Structure 1
């Protein structure tokens, strides 16, 4: 199917074609680990970690730690990295032998030198001192490098969206060069008005469109949003509703504004009803396969 056939089809026919051509994944090799970030986060405390190697295998680990932290309290800043925490201020629930509960807070960014003992107690109760004494066998820098790689996996969900934005930007960049169009990633309504003299109504003042494309010849703007959902969930219904409303909102402009939604992922197969409603209002819903087949190229060329 080509663009014109797709656009002229009924919403049900377009939805059926869209669902039948969804991609299996958008995970490029770069998706799995952001090594630059891992390196950056590890190097933040490289000096402290190398100094803390002194504690590895020590017999009287509590006393040695207390003495070391008293002499060099800045070493305490490395503790969150060693226990796989991004937080630098930790709220801690303490339960004593009688099941009495109290709450404490430890700041690992600004070290309270009057509470060195509390930091050492936390390191002991969290199991960190046992690890340093009995389980750590090599450089703590190498250990934290591995910890950071694991923590970075938590960012994969966000990287999926960033991957789609990157794919879209590269695709639009090539089209714009071939067709003599202008474009801007993360475009705002004020930017579009100031640079292209087109009014774009927005539902919220901080709204940024993933990509905006402008044709000077036609004095027209295309606003493109993109996302990817590999799994199902209630969020898909909300997303479909949001982009349906957004498309209707921006196209109320007195200027020539058209909305495009580029989305993909097998998750959409679990959200047939809300997606069907979106297709009833948005003509230009494309997936990665459609981009590959030139749908966006042809639309911007019309």
Structure 2
């Protein structure tokens, strides 16, 4: 369980390094309902018309875009990787129907070596899927500028 927080701390450190300020430019653990209420955007395509309450690890808000972000890093293989890849593929398709919202996924780890096909399938669909190396090379600034 602690690994979840380490990966979120890592991503947050890169977000902060991009000169974004917490609770002004980016937010942590925001639900679909909180995003909708904060910026008057309809996310019902993601929430199954309000029936599910998805929580995103991070949300970055710029003048003209909302970036909803998930982070997952896998040290070992298992069914969770395949389930996550399928789930994020679905979210990608749903978000594509919402103007002004972009889904971003930061993922990495040895676990993906055995689940390469599922990751590749999601990679083909999801424009914004990045690794730790991408974070180290300033991808956050490139995405939001």
TM range (shorter): 0.7 to 0.9
Other structure's SS at 2:20 match: helix
Deviations 1:213-234 (A, max 9, x none): 1112x2x101110011111122
SS in 1 for 2:18: helix
SS of residue paired to 1:291: helix
Cα displacement (A) at 1:299: 0.8
Equivalent residue for 1:246, pick from 88, 91, 94: 91
Deviation by residue 1:173-210 (Cα, 9 ceiling, x = unmatched): 332538xx721101112211222222223245221000
Alignment of 1:150-161 (within 5 A): 158-161=1-4
Give 1 or 2: higher strand fraction: 2
Residue 171 of structure 1 corresponds to: 14
Unaligned runs of 5+ in 2: none
Counterpart of 1:189?
32
| Runs of 4+ deviating beyond 3 Å | none
1:176/1:257 CA distance change after superposition, 3 Å? farther
RMSD over aligned Cα atoms? 1.7
Structure 2 Cα separation of the partners of residues 244 and 259 of structure 1:
10
TM-score (norm 2): 0.87
Q: Could you tell me which of 62, 84, 88 is aligned with 1:215?
A: 62
1:235 maps onto 2:108 in alignment = no
2:52 pairs, out of 194, 197, 205, with 205
- Asked which structure has the greater CA Rg, the reply is 1
Structure 1 spans left out of the alignment, 5+ residues: 1-157
Contact 1:176 1:183 in 2 (8 A): no
Match of 1:291 among 132, 135, 140: 135
- Aligned-residue offset at 1:264: 0.8
* Secondary structure, aligned partner of 1:247: helix
Equivalent residue of 2:127, what SS?
coil
CA offsets per residue over residues 121-176 of structure 1, 9 Å max, x none? xxxxxxxxxxxxxxxxxxxxxxxxxxxxxxxxxxxxx1111111111222223325
Q: TM-score, normalised by structure 1?
A: 0.44
Aligned residues: 139
